[in-house]
Amino acid sequence: MTRHFLRDDDLSPAEQARVLDLAAAMKQAPYDAKPLAGPRTVAMIFDKPTLRTQSSFAAGIAELGGNPMLVDGALAGIGVRESVADVARILDRQASAIVWRTYAQARLEEMAEHAAVPVVNALTDDFHPCQLLADLLTIREHRGELAGLTVAFLGDGACNMGNSWLLAGATAGLHVRVSSPEGYEPDAAVVATAAAIAAGTGGSAVLERDPQAAAAGADVVVTDTWISMGKEEEAAARAEVFGPYAVTESLLALADPAAIVLHCLPAYRGKEIEAAVLDGPRSVVWDEAENRRHVQKAILAWLLEEPS
């Protein structure tokens, strides 16, 4: 059966741990594993602007011995000139896997339904699972084991990062606190799913309106841009609403003294995060950015080699 990676809870706790172990091993020896030797091709489709996603997938696929094939979603006319199902049927004859960074999660799921090769979510409006694997690997590198740590996610809980933190964090046994203004809470179904997963892993998934209460004693403090792609026209209103949720030095002082700070980038200093925090000693954002390559290599290798 073809396995896909469309959202964070597509991996069980044991599978998530296996992928993270594989990513750590690949980081230590980046040129040893060659599951794409041939070279086999991986199609990368981008409907949204990209820097880290494209560069990390392209470099990672090359390190796995494969050939990254760039597909411009707009030029291909996916969903307009070509149906999503037809694109899936065409690309699975050319490539060993399909990576797609797009808008609607439903389009990604339609691609997976019709593709005979693994489909990987490189970002949708609803979930960002590759980023979360990179975040978890980064936390593990800096804080040891994941289970039992407390993560405070501050900002837009209704964005893909808020949803993914709940699911991936619960899967890892983390205690995840999402703190966002009224009207920007995560999807209720995602919260319920995360709580059900956490019941089996010893973690928790809660919403905490007060950003100071969310940050209190946290081992990891996370934020994201307040202006996600497609929300640019709301920039002024969002800056006012999200102001109290900015990661500042004074807010970080409430966290555990050994707390680390994550931001998936791009970052806007002086808005969702102070420059002194992003560029300060607790920030691990550059490790986080690098780790996209290692976890994406691991998920591709795992999808192509291990699932039955």
Confidence band for 195, pLDDT divided at 50, 70 and 90: very high
Poorest-confidence range of 143-147, 165-169, 235-239, 256-260?
235-239
Q: How large is the average pLDDT for residues 213-217? A: 98
Q: Is 26 annotated as a binding residue?
A: no
- The answer to whether residue 107 is catalytic is no
291 is in an annotated binding site: no
Annotation says 159 is catalytic:
no
106 has pLDDT over 90: yes
Set 175, 264, 293, 294: catalytic member = 264
* Percentage with pLDDT > 70 across the chain: 98
Which of the residues 40, 131, 135, 140 is marked catalytic?
A: 131
Q: What is the C-alpha to C-alpha distance for residues 98 and 120, in angstroms, rounded to an integer?
A: 6
Does the pLDDT of residue 231 top 70, yes or no? no
Is 121 assigned a ligand-binding role in the annotation?
no
The alpha carbon of 43 is separated from its chain's Cα centroid by a whole number of angstroms, namely 19
Has 293 been labeled as part of a binding site?
A: no
Please name the residues in contact with 73: beta carbons below 8 A apart, sequence gap of 6 or more: 45, 46, 47, 100, 102
Mean of the pLDDT values across residues 50-74?
96
Domains assigned to the chain: 13-128+292-305 (3.40.50.1370), 131-288 (3.40.50.1370)
238 is catalytic: no
CA 283 to chain centre: 18
Calculate mean pLDDT across residues 217-233: 85
d(CA 223, CA 162): 9
The catalytically annotated residue of 40, 52, 128, 238 is 128
Query: pLDDT at residue 240 above 90?
Result: no
Q: State yes or no: 67 annotated in a binding site.
A: no
**Longest CA pairwise span in the chain (Å):** 54
Partners of residue 140 on adjacent β-strands: none
With bands split at pLDDT 50, 70 and 90, how would you rate the model's confidence at 285? very high
Using CA atoms, how far residue 298 sits from 43, 92, 118, 191, in Å, is: 17, 20, 13, 27
130 annotated as a binding-site residue: yes
pLDDT at 234: 74
In sequence order, what are the residues at sequence separation of 6 or more whose Cβ sits closer than 8 angstroms to the Cβ of residue 120?
4, 5, 97, 98, 99, 100, 130, 296, 299, 300, 303
Query: What's the pLDDT at 308?
Result: 63
Ligand-binding annotation for 244, yes or no, is: no
Active site residue 292: yes
7, 238, 292, 293: the catalytic one is: 292
b/e 41-57 (16+ beta carbons within 10 angstroms → b): bbbbbbbbebebbbebb
Q: Which of 52, 126, 224, 296 is catalytic?
A: 224
